[in-house]
Structure 1
Amino acid sequence: MMTTLPVILPVFIVIAFGWVARWRGFLSDDHVDGLMRFAQGFAIPCLLFRGISTLDLGAQFHPPLLISFYAGALAGFALGLTAARLLFRRNWEDAVAIGFCCLFSNSLLLGLPITERAYGADALEANLAIISIHAPSLYAIGITAMELARARGESLLRLPAKVARAMFSNALVVGILLGLAVNLSGITLPAILTDALDLIVRAALPAALFGLGGILFRYRPEGDMRAILFVSAVALIVHPAITYALGRGFGLEPTPLRSAVVTAAMAPGVNAYLFANMYGAARRVAASSVLVATGLSVITISGWLLLLP
């Protein structure tokens, strides 16, 4: 583990700096919210746009990579939903929100920087291939499941419009779709524009990690500890284990296998809490799961890095 800690600890130290800054009052909640709006609403969409607009789609979008990762994610969603409903006796809305926590790993704020530190910037192409459909596909699953849970006999004719409206109001999805449009169209962007975008991109992950620390300060792992630990176990162990087994079974090369497993091994992201908060369902479980799983991931990620080739 000592060989992997220098790889992952700097990422968590930046998060800790944000936590301490909020704890000591150097930043207010409004400051943290503003920083996260910049990071998640502007800088990270620019990062996704730049990465996907130049991604070799033919080389990276191969089924074994995507199936390995997303089969694990969907299995996590099914486990979380079932356990919340049958084991923890939660209502259907809470069950969907808890399932979403098991579904949505922090592929951006943790997956990208940890993969880059462990394996270099050239290893990120497979990460970007996964991320390019991560938010659109998983939000579509979560929103559809939640709207079905809330419908209870109402007409489902308006469901596609609700899902589409929620998807296209997400800045991450917009950045991904614009990047795909530029990639597929073959448009060459002016160097002045790409240089400006690259300046913003360099600020994206540090700002987001620092802001994440401030966000995590608000959360307390109060109550519902069984559900919180269950979500953490599914996110940190079950999802990457399924991805690893399928990736090895498909014969994935070491580089995409590492990207898939490391991305799968990330704790639930803040988006898991935002989803729960949007619907007012299982908010305490979602918020606390982000905090607890992020702390535990220092240990579990080290284990996965040691296991990977």
Structure 2
Amino acid sequence: MSLIPVVLFIALGYGAGRMGWVKAASVRDLSNIVFLILTPALLFHTMSTVRVQELNLQTIAVYFSAAGLLFVTTLLLQGFTTLGAARALANCFSNNIMIGVPLVGMVFGQEGLVTLFTIVSVHALILMTSATIVFELAVMHQQQGAQGGARSYRGMAITVVRALKNGIIHPIPLPIICGLLFAQTGLKMPEVIDTSLQMLAQALGPIALMLVGITLFFSAVGRYWLPASRIAVVKLLLHPVLLLAIGWMWGLRGLPLVVLATAASLPVGANVFLFTQRYEVGREEVTASIAVSTSLALVTIPLILLGLAQLLQTA
């Protein structure tokens, strides 16, 4: 099953930490390599092939309506802080690449992959860019709260503009925007650059997951079992149920709806962990939630697929 390599990579990272091959002081440097080099390479390469006019807007609207509703609701319940933003992102950010692509390909074939790739092509653009702006606003909100100063409308406007600027000139949104703009030119990427980007992009998944395992070893995860389990339950069960409800109300039926629900039922993606490293908040909790949700998904995903198979037959 496609979940096995994910568990294996996390276990390899944990083993590397346990054996002393990676020191705690090196975790930050490894995180910078993933966040500042490998992730931008994957994002630019992915977006450089996206043609806006070819996207299925209905499936995009359904998927990101569910994710957005879950994100905003979590943020309202948790409070407008970087920790609240980390939990909100974990609740709605699926591991669509390492788990989703092989799983959907195996269960639903090429037709299912077409629907999934529509989501994957703008997944980072929508969720990661939005999350970056929310994180930047939350940082400034917390700083202003700590200073105890009154906030005027002008001051709030300046804060929003500054957050938007920081959210765009950033290792995640900037390569997304540049890649999307390049795609619209119709130009062909030089082979040497395209090959280099592909190699960097392919390295992201395994290294990011091993980094999760390394952090898992250096973190007191046992203390975070309960909040990690809450995130896992929301991600694995509430997210797909919410998506099914929204998709059904919007008139989406058949295989596209089933594939979207499958994507929503996937465990927490490793990119959420990169945000916690970048903003130094909730690292242990999110690390634990990735491990817990991936382990529980070995049970929940087969059950959800059985239910979705029945839905597909009756649709």
- TM-score, length basis structure 1: 0.78
The answer to whether structure 1 residue 130 and structure 2 residue 123 are counterparts is yes
- Equivalent residue for 2:212? 212
Match of 1:245 in 2: 245
- Tell me what 1:18 maps to: 13
Aligned to 2:68: 74
Q: What is the alpha-carbon distance in structure 2 between the residues aligned to residue 277 and residue 210 of structure 1?
A: 14
8 Å contact from structure 1 (residues 132, 176) kept in 2: yes
- What is the Cα deviation at residue 279 of structure 1? 6.2
Contact kept? 2:10, 2:212, Cα under 8 Å: yes
Aligned-residue Cα RMSD (Å) equals 3.2
**Residues 1:296 and 2:290 aligned together:** no
Q: What is the CA–CA distance in structure 2 between the aligned matches of 1:44 and 1:252, rounded to whole Å?
A: 34
Change (3 A) 1:253 1:57: farther
Q: Deviations over 1:78-136 (max 9, x none)?
A: 44344446xxxxxx53xx623541334444xx321112211339625222222222211
Match of 1:97 among 60, 80, 83: 83
Residues in 2 aligned to 1:193 and 1:183: alpha-carbon distance in whole angstroms: 15
Which of 30, 38, 42 is residue 37 of structure 2 equivalent to? 42
- Identify the residue that residue 254 of structure 1 maps to in structure 2: 255
Q: 1:114 aligns with which of 72, 93, 99?
A: 99
Cα deviation for residue 285 of structure 1 reads: 4.5
- Counterparts of 2:170 and 2:301, CA distance in 1: 28
Q: Is the 8 A contact 1:102 1:235 kept in 2?
A: no
Q: Deviations over 1:173-225 (max 9, x none)?
A: 22211110111122222222212222222322222222222122233345576
Distance change >3 Å, CA 9–CA 74, structure 1 → 2: same
Change beyond 3 A, Cα 1:307–1:177: farther
User: C-alpha distance in 2, partners of 1:277/1:53?
Assistant: 27
CA contact (8 A) 1:111 1:262 kept: no
- Larger deviation, residues 37-46 vs 145-154: 145-154
Using structure 2 for the length normalisation, give the TM-score.
Answer: 0.77
Q: 1:277 to 1:172 in 2, by over 3 A?
A: closer
Instruction: Please list every run of 5 or more consecutive structure 2 residues that lacks an aligned counterpart in the other structure.
Output: 310-315
Match of 1:156, SS state, is: helix
Deviations 1:218-271 (A, max 9, x none): 33345576544333322222122212332344325625752x334433444555
Distance change (3 Å), C-alpha of 1:72 and 1:81 = same
Q: Is the 8 A contact 1:44 1:205 kept in 2?
A: no
| Range with bigger deviation, 16-25 or 75-84 | 75-84
Q: 1:28 to 1:59 in 2, by over 3 A?
A: same
Pair 223,45 (structure 1): closer, same or farther in 2 beyond 3 Å: same
1:130 maps to amino acid: H
Amino acid across the alignment from 1:68: V
**Given that residues 244 and 257 in structure 2 are in contact (C-alpha distance below 8 angstroms), is that contact kept between their aligned partners in structure 1?**
no
Deviation at 1:37, TM superposition (A): 2.8
Structure 2: how far apart are the matches of 1:217 and 1:187? 45
Find the aligned partners of 1:226 and 1:210 in 2 and give their Cα distance. 23
Are the aligned partners of 1:236 and 1:265 in contact in 2 as well (CA < 8 Å)? yes
Structure 1 residues 43 and 61, CA, compared in 2 at 3 Å: closer, same or farther? Answer: farther
Instruction: Give the number of equivalent residue pairs.
Output: 292
CA 164–255 in structure 1, closer or farther in 2 if over 3 Å, else same: same
- d(CA) in 2 for partners of 1:119 and 1:226? 30
Q: Identity of counterpart residues, as a percentage? A: 21
**Map of 1:24-35 to 2, 5 A cutoff?**
24-35=19-30
Check whether the contact 1:19–1:214 (CA below 8 A) recurs between aligned residues.
yes
SS at match of 2:205: helix
For residues 18 and 186 of structure 2, the distance between their equivalents in structure 1, rounded to whole angstroms, comes to 47
Q: Out of 297-306 and 168-177, give the one that drifted further.
A: 297-306
- For residue 220 of structure 2, give the secondary structure of its aligned residue in structure 1: coil
Residue 57 of structure 1 deviates from its aligned partner by 2.4
1:60 counterpart residue number: 55
Aligned to 2:313: none
